[in-house]
Amino acid sequence: MSVAFKSREDHRKQLELEEARKAGLAPAEVDEDGKEINPHIPQYMSSAPWYLNAERPSLKHQRKWKSDPNYTKSWYDRGAKIYQADKYRKGACENCGAMTHNAKSCMERPRKTGAKWTNMHIAPDDKIESFELDYDGKRDRWNGFDPATYALVIERYEARDEARRKYLKEQQLKKLEEKNSKQNGEGGVSDEDDDEDALKVDEAKVDESKQMDFAKVEKRVRTTGGGSTGTVRNLRIQEDTAKYLLNLDINSAYYDPKTRSMREDPLPDADPNEKFYGGDNQNRLSGQALEFKQLNVHAWEAFEKGQDIHLQAAPSQAELLYKNYKVIKEKLKSRLKDTIAEKYGNAASEEEIPRELLLGQSERQVEYDRAGRIIQGVESFLPRSKYEEDVYINNHTSVWGSWWKDHQWGYKCCKQTIKNSYCTGAAGIEAAEAAADLMKANVARKAASEDMRAPAEEKNLATWGTDVPDNLNLDQKQLAEALRKEDERKKEEKDERKRKYNVRWNDEVTAEEMEAYRMKKIHHDDPMKDFLH
């Protein structure tokens, strides 16, 4: 459509006309064929491109206006033959004698002697067709399907239903004959009308079961929000443990494999804090599901009492009435509470409850026997920690940590500080005390003997950082050994691969070792230090 210049006033009128058409106050615009155009279609869709030279708005340019005449929707003529030859022809299939294929592509059973040599049983020529299909034709999975072939399936199912109905009639007749024979033996009289009525009821049951089967087949469950339907129900994550594997006991909670549901708790005796699945009933009785049940029950009760309320027809109205009902109910409860408090008084606000009623006394009755065991009633147990309590191992009569001595824990029964030790009882305590006394006596005896011993000859020792004494006498053999050790130490310092990991510092050395260190030490003011190796 050619775009002409429009003034501001014409543009404003055009916009007002479009708004009126959208509101239904003005008639819709008509295309070239006289059909109305939806006013809510955007202009860029209803306006044709300039190169089509369209005079009026239309939607023809949105349709497929280019069509290829070569495209076809026909299909192959199955089993069609075009010519039946009497003798073998040159260039035909050597196996069957048809001209439409060669021996390699032949679909017949390989003959012991082909038609080329026997010149007998020549196969007819097949009808060869080639089609140029469009986009939809190439992807049509039902192209070439003959609907008449499905009649065989229908006939098979009808024959099965007829046989089933006939079998049920025969079974019903047998039951009626047995019943009539019993009545005749007792002097009763059978009635043929009752037999016919029973047969009619049986046929009605058969038809009803058949309808139920079809209803089950036609049942679909909406799985996505886009409107698509499918037969998959209750999708779950494949990494999770299946419900039927939680408890394989036969007497445990029942698992329905068709709906993949398990209403009851499969592990009722397990710790609730450690269970990740407690049955489907926990979802039915928690969250908004319980609120919806209460809302549904309220709608039913209100409808029975004459209220015009329906949860499915007017859900907003039903929810509003339920909220008002809860508010009014709370007001009535508070008013009743205030009335009772005004009439009888409030003991909780006037005076405090005695301490023996709060902490000590209760109406619960617990019976004990002479040994202190509970006969009747329940005793409140103290909460236990997650650690082991009152566990005695290795014949101990007390727990680990019941005795403390010299910054060590132990057992009080035998006074041992080793946790995995075997209890020795009182004999072990006496032996330990005797060993401790003997050790103290030996230590005292050794100290007394060291005090009485004469002082030994002091070693000729020197300390790092001290000066060389004047009266120093050196042993030549020990000096030579010290020089050798000093050379080895120098080599270790130069070669890091020979350096030891655990190096211990010793500040007390002999005079020979100190002299060897001084002799091997490099002085910076020595003019011959560069010639040392």
Q: 378-416, pLDDT tens digit by residue?
A: 656 666 677 777 788 888 888 888 888 888 888 888 888
Q: Which stretches of the chain score pLDDT less than 50?
A: 1-2, 189, 214-230, 454, 456-465
* Percent residues over pLDDT 90 in the chain: 20
> How many Å separate Cα 170 from the centre of its chain?
53
> What H or E segment, with its residue span, contains residue 368?
strand 367-368
Closest CA to 281 of 260, 261, 258, 301: 261
pLDDT of residue 388: 75
Which residues are CB-contacts of 241 (< 8 A; sequence separation ≥ 6)? none
Cα–Cα dist 28/12, whole Å: 18
Strands 461-463 and 508-510: antiparallel
Closest CA to 506 of 485, 475, 480, 477: 485
* Domain edges within the chain: 8-62, 149-180+194-215, 229-333, 363-451, 477-531
Alpha-carbon dihedral angle through residues 146, 147, 153, 158, given to the nearest 10 degrees:
-150
Cα–Cα dist 58/30, whole Å: 8
Cα–Cα dist 111/97, whole Å: 11
Burial class (CB in 10 A: 0-12, 13-18, 19+), 1: middle
At residue 316, φ and ψ (nearest 5 deg) are: -65, -40
Which residues are CB-contacts of 122 (< 8 A; sequence separation ≥ 6)? 84, 85, 86, 87, 88, 96, 97, 98, 115
Which residues are CB-contacts of 460 (< 8 A; sequence separation ≥ 6)? 472, 473, 510, 511
Q: What 3-state class would DSSP assign to 284?
A: helix
pLDDT of residue 499: 66
> Which tokens go with 196?
């016919």
pLDDT of residue 227: 47
- Given the structure tokens 């009080």, which residue do they identify? 412
pLDDT of residue 107: 92
Q: Which amino acid is at 174?
A: K
Q: What 3-state class would DSSP assign to 403?
A: strand
